[in-house]
Amino acid sequence: MSKIRILAIPPDTHGVGKFRITGPYTFLQENYGDDFHIDLLTNIEDKDDIFNNYDIIVMHTFIHNKASSSKNINRVKWLKEKGKIVIIDFDDYWEPDIRHPMYLQAKISGAIITKINLLKEASYITVTTPVYQDTIIKKFNLKNVVVFPNAIDETEPQFIPSPIPSEKIRFGWLGGSSHLSDIDLMTLGISKMYNTFIDKIQFVLCGFDLRGTVTEINKTTQERKTRNVRPEETVWYKYEHIFTNNYRVLDNDYINFLKLYKELEYDDTNKPYIRR
């Protein structure tokens, strides 16, 4: 029997691309190579012949990242007309909440309608959880929705545990820059935890990131200037305020160190809050 040929298209080489496409389909190739041949390609051009030798096309949300919404939808339709199976992976809700930083861009760009149309056109849809699966099935009356849970490769160095012993109970949080409204829900709870158990607990904020740029537009001349974002303009600065109860649980020396925003050595082992 000939191998099933799969073209898997990760949107990037890290984050969602790594965990939803690259990792799983690399695993499939390495463990079931007698049954499957898998190619991983990014930045797919909008050309027909690229897809000729494949039975299944797998993508995360879009096939052609640089093409228009209509071309992406037409591509899915064309692939199905050619008898190919199209699997589209969705790990997030198709319409950002109004509190999400990408809300306006998603509305203006038409990305929401495009994602809905792609959901309806796909041969199969893979999602992260049963809740999301049930949401899509009921919302669009679709039956081809499969739960494909998030997972990690525990042999990778970044996932091999190296715990630092402590008498404290640690609460770690790791997430992206779109979760301010979620973290804000924890403000009162974090404050109460500190008030009651400050000597017994430790909050760890992971992924602290000050990278990024800001584009400023002169209202009179319309001149655009791009500069590096200042630390106090980042969402991580706002996260830190919440996780430190507005720095009230920290001593002045540690506060001054944190506000240097530099990766320097500091013994924060027993502090009630740690930035990572």
15: left (phi over 0), alpha (psi -120 to 50) or beta: left
Strand-by-strand arrangement of the 36-40 sheet: 36-40, 4-9, 56-60, 85-89, 124-127, 145-147
Q: What is the pLDDT along the chain (276 residues), one digit of tens a residue?
A: 689 999 999 998 888 999 999 999 999 999 999 999 999 998 888 899 999 999 999 999 889 877 888 889 999 999 999 999 999 999 989 998 888 888 888 888 888 898 999 999 999 999 999 999 999 999 999 999 999 999 888 899 989 988 888 999 999 999 888 899 999 999 999 999 999 999 999 999 999 999 888 888 888 888 888 899 999 999 999 999 999 999 999 999 999 999 999 989 999 999 999 999
Contact 87, 56 (CB under 8 A): yes
Of 148, 84, 91, nearest in space to 121 by CA: 84
Give the three-class secondary structure for 115. Answer: helix
Per domain, the residue ranges of the chain are: 4-147, 163-275
Q: For the residues of 15-58, what is the DSSP string, one character each?
A: HHHIIIIIHHHHHHHHHSTTTEEEEE--S--S-GGGGTT-SEEE
- Decide if 91 contacts 40 (C-beta within 8 A): no
pLDDT at position 1 is: 63
Rounded to the nearest 10 degrees, the angle between the axes of helix 69-81 and helix 111-121 is: 10
* 127, 145 Cβ separation under 8 angstroms: yes
In CATH, 4-147 is 3.40.50.2000: yes
Task: Provide CB contacts within 8 A for 82, sequence distance 6+.
Answer: 51
**Exposure letters 138-167 (e unless 16+ CB within 10 A, then b):** eeeeeeebeebeeeeeeeeeeeeeeeeeee
Residues 155, 39: Cα–Cα separation, whole Å: 23
272 by Cβ neighbours in 10 Å (0-12 / 13-18 / 19+) ranks as: buried
* Whole-number Å distance between alpha carbons of 126 and 140: 15
Whether the Cβ atoms of residue 131 and residue 111 lie closer than 8 Å to each other? no
CB 241 within 8 A of CB 247: yes
| C-alpha angle 196-197-201 in degrees, rounded to nearest 5 | 150
Q: Retrieve residue 70's tokens.
A: 């209509």
